[in-house]
Amino acid sequence: MTFIFRELIKKKRDGDALTEDEIRWMISTYSKGEIPDYQMSAMLMAIYHSSMTKDEAVVLTDAMKNSGKVLDLSSIEKPKIDKHSTGGVGDKTSMILGPMAAAAGLAVPMMAGRGLGHTGGTLDKLEAIPGFNIEQSESRFKEILNEVGICIIGQSSEICPADKKLYALRDVTATVESIPLICASIMSKKLAEGIDGIVLDVKFGSGAFMKSLLEAKTLAQSLCDIGSGSGKKVTAVLSNMNQVLGRYVGNATEMLECIEILNNPKSHPKYFDTVELSIHLCAEMLLMAGVADSLDAGIKKAKQVLEDGSAFAVFEKMVKLQGGDLKGMPQPYEAYDYKAAKSGCIGEINPEKIGIAGIRLRAGREKTSDQIDPRSGFEVLVKIGDQVRAGDVLCKVFAKTPLEAEAAFDMLHDAFRIVADTIKPVDLIGERILSN
């Protein structure tokens, strides 16, 4: 069966549902390179505006999953549990909790993504490590998983090729913030991984794709429905993205925060929120796998493997097996201080604006062909509720030139709001939604 793609775009643009045949044909034809990106961009924008029914989203997910191979990990005996985030700024938990979960006895087959919109991507961050290879053959992926308990790869021409292409296109066409597109992108990858279950970190707030808690809950429920409909265990944890997670934003910059957390427990106070969320999500993974019999027991185990160095040992081994060399880590560019214009309390931070300023510094992409600069980014020194004085440094900008730092400063003016009132710190971890 074939279709005229322009007519399908028109149908979706006008708010009608696509049929199962139309969706499957669209995904297989696009994956083969027979639909040009300019037409697919128009379709993505039509989906963004007209959305999709639940049935359409389920078919889209399945078609994307089946655009490549579905991995068979039945030869791996350990429970196979992954975690995925819906996207945030400074969110580097995968590189911390993945090794923690593996050190605690799980297999973590993780297919991650690149930067998306204003948010950073695990793959771009890992590629800041010289030599780190996110493309592994199926057999090598299994070998690494067997040897160290974790392997982090990207979508490829073999696994989830439809998401590889659509993800890159959504990144640069302002079509990310769509519940069916996010669900299909995340769940197609997760279902292709051959996992038993998945913990989802569903973010809400100004730095997330879902700005309101209500939208995030709807997204979480849709993700859970699609996962459980495919026989997987799913737990979604809602987390607050109204401020940058941890201190660093960027690629090498965020990796350095991960390495410091894994390698040096004494650095934890500075990175308290990155550590808290990593431990919490890891505990959910251990609970799902039956390795812990309660969330508290999972938290205890997660803390133990972080503090006794076993998570760092797993991380170092994973990096080595995936071709990386931690000794050659690129260092951030020279820091330019962005200072508070007045005294008061940090009332609001807008991580989306910080993420967009990062794109200007090439920490993210404006076009699909853009190369990431791993050395640029930010260190955000304040959290909501902190008291500051005029002239205090709010944020360090790591920029290649003073001119680039100046351009980033211009974009940071709206990113921090200082108020006279006292503001309470925000709660990081919210509600938990379980699949049926």
- Chain residues binding ligand URA by CB under 6 A are 86-87, 113, 116, 182, 185-186
- Helical H runs in 82-129? 94-103, 122-126
Nearer to ligand URA, 183 or 292 (CB): 183
Query: Least Å distance between CB 265 and ligand URA?
Result: 30
Q: Which residues make beta-bridge pairs with 354?
A: none
Catalytic annotation on 84? yes
Query: Least Å distance between CB 113 and ligand URA?
Result: 4
Rounded to whole angstroms, how far apart are CA atoms 120 and 99? 20
- Which residue bears the tokens 């049926």? 436
Nearer to ligand URA, 206 or 412 (CB): 206
Q: Which residues make beta-bridge pairs with 348?
A: 417
**252 near 374, Cβ under 8 Å?**
yes
Query: Least Å distance between CB 186 and ligand URA?
Result: 5
Nearer to ligand URA, 66 or 175 (CB): 175
197-210 burial: b if 16+ Cβ within 10 Å, else e:
bbbbbbbbbbbbbb
Burial of 33 (C-beta count, 10 Å sphere; 0-12/13-18/19+): exposed
- The catalytic position among 170, 301, 365, 375 is 170
Torsion of CA 297, 298, 299, 300, to 10 degrees: 50
Q: Which helix (H) or strand (E) element contains residue 397?
A: strand 393-398
DSSP 321: H
Catalytic annotation on 163? yes
Catalytic annotation on 170? yes
Query: Least Å distance between CB 99 and ligand URA?
Result: 20
DSSP 59-77: HHHHHHHTTSPPP--TT--
Catalytic annotation on 225? no
Nearer to ligand URA, 185 or 278 (CB): 185
DSSP 265: G
Residues 6+ apart with CB under 8 A from 233: 196, 197, 198, 227, 288, 435
Query: Least Å distance between CB 270 and ligand URA?
Result: 27
Query: Least Å distance between CB 182 and ligand URA?
Result: 4
Query: Least Å distance between CB 129 and ligand URA?
Result: 21
- Helical H runs in 231-337? 252-263, 272-289, 295-307, 310-321
DSSP 117-137: TTB--HHHHHTTSTT------
Nearer to ligand URA, 123 or 244 (CB): 123
Rounded to whole angstroms, how far apart are CA atoms 84 and 70? 18
- The catalytic position among 84, 118, 353, 375 is 84
Through-space distance between the first and last CA atoms of the chain, rounded to whole angstroms: 36
Nearer to ligand URA, 67 or 316 (CB): 67
Nearer to ligand URA, 68 or 87 (CB): 87
Query: Least Å distance between CB 66 and ligand URA?
Result: 17
Burial of 329 (C-beta count, 10 Å sphere; 0-12/13-18/19+): middle
- The catalytic position among 11, 24, 125, 189 is 189
Nearer to ligand URA, 52 or 399 (CB): 52
141-184-173 Cα angle (round to 5): 100
Catalytic annotation on 310? no
Radius of gyration of the chain (CA): 21
Residue nearest to ligand URA (CB): 185
Q: Catalytic positions, please?
A: 84, 163, 170, 185, 189
